[in-house]
Amino acid sequence: MASFVFFLLQTLPIAFLIYFITHYFLHTLLTKARKLPPGPTGWPVLGFLPFMGSMPHVTLAKLARQYGPIVYLKMGSTNMVVASTPDAARAFLKMLDLNFSDRPPNAGATHLAYNREDMVFADYGPRWKLMRKLTNLHMLGGKALESWAKTRAEEMGHVLRALYDKEGNKEVAVAETLSCAMANMIGQVMLRRRVFDTTGSESNEFKDMVVELMTSAGLFNIGDFVPCLAWLDLQGIERGMKKLHKKFDALLTRMIEEHTTSSRERTSGEPDFLDVMMGYYNSTEDDDKEGERLTLTNIKALLLNLFTAGTDTSSSIIEWALAEMLKNPEIMKKAHQEMDQVIGRHRRLQESDFPNLPYFQAICKETYRLHPSTPLNLPRVAGSACEVDGYYIPKGTRLSVNIWAIGRDPDVWDDPLSFNPERFMSGKQAKIDPRGNDFELIPFGAGRRICAGTRMGIILVHYILGTLVHSFEWKLPSNMKELNMEEKFGLALQKKVPLVALVSPRLSPNAYVA
């Protein structure tokens, strides 16, 4: 018996080693025997990771021009495919939507999004469906958005009064103004109160935290693709994420505690969004199998999603639109002429005016095309092996859709690098809609994992941008000879140099105080 045990101890490790080597080589040979999409050869171990650079969306767009609409990359130990044309995006996000309905695990989801307890990074399942249903019913859906239209109008009143200076020009830090306004709009719906009374150090710190989150979460972290190196945190990304998470957690905890205290004093009125979520709160923090309850961690994570994505993506689009109009004054002039004809100068713009402002809507679409809020759609992962356009896509392959490249595809758009709203005024492109069905223009993604805030984002962009354009004359400060239009990569595409502009009122004085 002892000799038999000794024999097993000697042979089992060798048998396991032979099994794993054979399994690995067989898997490799079988994969290579099938036709993978074309792509570049990277380094051993790291694959193509060292070549991504600081502007991955640009790097991947160049690869698409070289290798075609679907590019295969070896990123560390991870397979990755990138779709860079409307047809390629449609193949993955429509025809194979269910197979690519989950997100791959990564450091951002772990350290920023409460270990994937949120709605953005959570697996497609009962808990995700509950959070999506609640946000649609009570905040982001069509009826919910109509119910808080008055809140949007009130907050824009605060913005107009803050910017109004009847004596002349007022210098505006656009990103700070937008971040404060949007946080207050969302705060009114979620917590029934403004988050910031005025722009200042507190609102600026919040804006900086949001930008840092969106930037760090968009970085290609070595540890996500080479797990054996994750503990080293070679780029320092995870250390920064953990530090930032503590700040956000403290802020969200304080919001929930203050809301809980104030709710005891409230005896009437409609419940706000946090009231609704707390109605599904499971205080034991147990994972119920049906996903019909929310833990406190789920609630914090969902608040984090709504405050960060809700403020940063929309504000970045508005900032880009204003920058393009300042760069092209004739476009601003045409927008003013259309608005003066439809609205006049004696009242503020209202959301009901939008159907009568086709040129302004074209400006918004052109901004979505040239400056999409998320240049690379949030990654998805193949639940099982599949085939796309004759190419084999292995199970576990990470999918990125290069929305930025699609918007600049010369096979789709004439003169794609020019900001030209006229392209959306006639012909087939006039019918293109950014809500995820027309794959030439998918700034919010598409399919079942399309951005939950698509409707809200479009309304906020149209209303806030439209109000700012209609209410003020815009020009660059006298010391600025040329507008910097460089990009800064992240989950949201930021202006590298934040926009600062001079505004002066163009409406009757009573329009700013109503």
Q: Which domains, and CATH codes, for the chain?
A: 36-512 (1.10.630.10)
pLDDT at position 475 is 95
Mean pLDDT of the 414-430 span: 96
Of 378, 399, 376, 381, the closest CA to residue 452 belongs to 378
What is the SS3 assignment for 79? Answer: strand
Residue 194's pLDDT is what?
85
pLDDT for 324: 98
Burial class (CB in 10 A: 0-12, 13-18, 19+), 150: exposed
- To the nearest whole number, what is the mean pLDDT of the chain? 90
Q: Token pair 């003020």 is at which residue?
A: 472
Q: How confident is the model at residue 70 (pLDDT cuts 50, 70, 90)?
A: very high
Taking only the tens place, the pLDDT of each residue in 382-407 is 999 999 999 999 999 999 999 999 99
Rounded CA-CA distance 13/377 in Å is 44
Q: Give the type of residue at 169.
A: N
User: What tokens appear for 108 in the block?
Assistant: 């951002």
State the Cα–Cα distance between residues 164 and 168, nearest whole angstrom.
Answer: 9
- As a whole number, mean pLDDT of residues 57-83 equals 97
Instruction: Indicate the DSSP class of residue 355.
Output: G
Task: Specify whether the CB–CB gap between 183 and 175 falls below 8 A.
Answer: no
- Provide DSSP, 225-252: H-GGGGGG-TTSHHHHHHHHHHHHHHHH
Q: Which helix (H) or strand (E) holds 297?
A: helix 296-327
Give the pTM.
0.90
Residue position matching structure tokens 């979620």: 190
Q: Within 13 Å and on the Cβ side, how many CA atoms surround 412?
A: 23
C-beta of residue 473 within 8 angstroms of C-beta of residue 340: no
3-class DSSP state for residue 195?
A: coil
CA–CA gap between residue 369 and residue 372 (Å, rounded): 6
Q: Is 451 annotated as a binding residue?
A: yes
